[in-house]
Structure 1
């Protein structure tokens, strides 16, 4: 745990040293803006459906038997469902005001994922009410901080990026240190192999997001990088749900 805490603090220090990270000017200009039957940005809206399906599946699957850190994982499932609604709302008419409703559930999902992972690999108390509510409070504050700084003309994404990418720092570190799962039965914890798959899928999702227009062009305007980002991120969440919680 001291190593993970040190990495978290180092990440915070690096972001503080970096200085404000603004949102790029054309963030809302997505490559695929096709509409259909009155639905604007059709595929960017509809590609959020997998988040609702995976989140609903998680809540149904863990309604009675749940993995180590049950509260955090159920919170993760709920946040995925909210992500589907929040992201669809944003992509219907993209602007900064709607983006708040997109980023809030994403931040909540990342916070719950972090607590769930720490509960499985460090101490089950990480999935308790106090740590989870605290993590969600920090996640909420990170989005609101961006919103208020954006309103002031000096938008700063650092706290939000910290919440979103902290699992990408802590999870591989814990896996490389061979921190053993604390599950009491086979399948109670997400396996190392599954976590590596989650990290790979989420990394691909972020790459696809950054190449939104080039992907759209390369695939002859059939789908865009941002749509693929939604699908890959939902697939990463599905791996977590599939590989955890079976007693």
Structure 2
């Protein structure tokens, strides 16, 4: 009797893939590194820590920017409770080391970003950027493992997690020497936008996965736009700043990722597992 894995019909690691296509993610990553190296250092804007939010609540300054981080913790808790019990399932095993790092980084982002926004400045910014870098690293490893269920990604999660730490450390060190450089940190933020759809296309990820991550990426880009337009949005609407909206939209992006992962265990996903057993 022919068996059906959870990947059949939606994701196709067993289907023939042109050899050169498999190397596309490596080529893209190498190209991005070369481009950033040739471009030269990318400094943080001089007014980066000047946010438009002037709200006060219970004596807490920048209250909207501070409290709007709570959603990250809620999404992380939801993801942990929904996914950790299924970490050894066929649907999640290969990607879990990365998704675990993603959820931990997301949870820490809620506190690191809130701490930073209480009194914005480079001295506190490290605690905002570090968990974000860890979450980006975890997402990369998680999706790579999720699109190729046979992979062992524990070492990758550790390695990319260390790179995430190093990327923030590089910014801190260069900033203290008066020539701050964000290139490694920015690389971690850009690569998911390119590699995730590429991996999903190459290995024919399930439609729910593609939809969830496409939604997350659109929301993330929208969040970055509102971040850039922080003061303009505050001046137009008055009751909300662009950076506060960034937090809320970015929370929705992470929720889309978790939603997509939980969809693997829907009734359809269970039927595929039953067929395989």
Following TM superposition, by how much is the alpha carbon of 1:193 offset from its aligned partner in structure 2, in angstroms?
A: 1.4
Distance (Å, rounded) in 2 between the aligned partners of 1:240 and 1:124: 21
Whether the 8 Å CA contact 2:223–2:247 is kept in 1: the answer is yes
Q: Aligned to 1:64, what secondary structure does the other structure show?
A: helix
Corresponding residue for residue 215 of structure 2: 197
* Residue aligning to 1:160: 185
For the pair 1:58 / 2:92, whether they are aligned, the reply is no
Over 3 Å counting, the alpha-carbon distance change for 1:224 and 1:70 in structure 2 is same
How far does residue 122 in structure 1 lie from its aligned partner after superposition? 3.8
> Aligned-pair RMSD on alpha carbons?
1.6
Aligned match for 2:231, one of 213, 219, 233 = 213
State whether residues 23 and 155 of structure 1, in contact with CA within 8 Å, keep that contact through their aligned partners in structure 2: yes
SS in 1 for 2:217: helix
Where does residue 18 of structure 2 map in the other structure?
A: none
Bigger Rg over Cα:
2
- The alpha-carbon distance between structure 1 residues 32 and 60, as it changes in their structure 2 partners (threshold 3 A), is same
Contact in 2 for aligned 1:46/1:88 (Cα 8 Å): yes
CA drift of 1:144 comes to: 0.5
Structure 1, residues 11-44: CA drift from partner, whole Å, max 9, x if none?
A: 1111111100000101110011222221111000
Shift of 1:123: 5.5
Deviation of 1:215 after TM superposition, in Å, equals 0.8
The alignment partner of 2:101 has SS state of helix
User: Match for 2:160 among 135, 139, 145?
Assistant: 135
The offset of 1:192, in angstroms, is 1.1
Q: Which moved more, 1:72-81 or 1:198-207?
A: 72-81
Are the equivalent residues in 1 in contact too, given 2:25–2:195 (CA < 8 A)?
yes
Conservation of the 8 A alpha-carbon contact between 1:108 and 1:139: yes
Deviation at 1:148, TM superposition (A): 0.5
- Residue in 2 aligned with 1:179? 203
Secondary structure, in 3 states, of the residue corresponding to 1:180?
coil
- Distance in 2, matches of 1:15 and 1:31, equals 30
Q: Please name the residue that 1:104 is paired with.
A: 130
Query: Which ranges of structure 1 fall in alignment gaps of 5 or more residues?
Result: 182-186
Residue 195 of structure 2 corresponds to residue 170 of structure 1: yes
Q: CA deviation at 1:102?
A: 0.4
122 and 4 in structure 1: CA distance in 2 versus 1, 3 angstrom threshold: farther
Q: Which residue of the partner structure matches residue 184 of structure 1?
A: none
Residue 125 of structure 1 aligns to a residue whose secondary structure is coil
Residue 84 of structure 2 aligns to a residue whose secondary structure is coil
**d(CA) in 1 for partners of 2:169 and 2:228?**
23
TM-score normalised per structure 1: 0.92
Report the TM-score, using the length of structure 2 for normalisation.
Answer: 0.82
Alignment of 1:53-132 (within 5 A): 53-66=74-87, 67-68=91-92, 69-122=95-148, 124-125=150-151, 128-132=153-157
Map of 2:30 onto structure 1: 9
Aligned match of 1:26 in 28, 47, 71?
47
Deviations 1:113-164 (A, max 9, x none): 00011111245436x2210000000000000000010000000000000011
Q: Secondary structure at the match of 2:47?
A: coil
Matching residue of 1:47: 68
How far apart are the structure 1 equivalents of 2:208 and 2:38? 34
Please list the CA deviations of residues 58-101 of structure 1 after superposition, one character each: whole Å capped at 9, or x if unmatched. Answer: 11111211442122212211111100000000000111111000
Q: Secondary structure at the match of 2:56?
A: coil
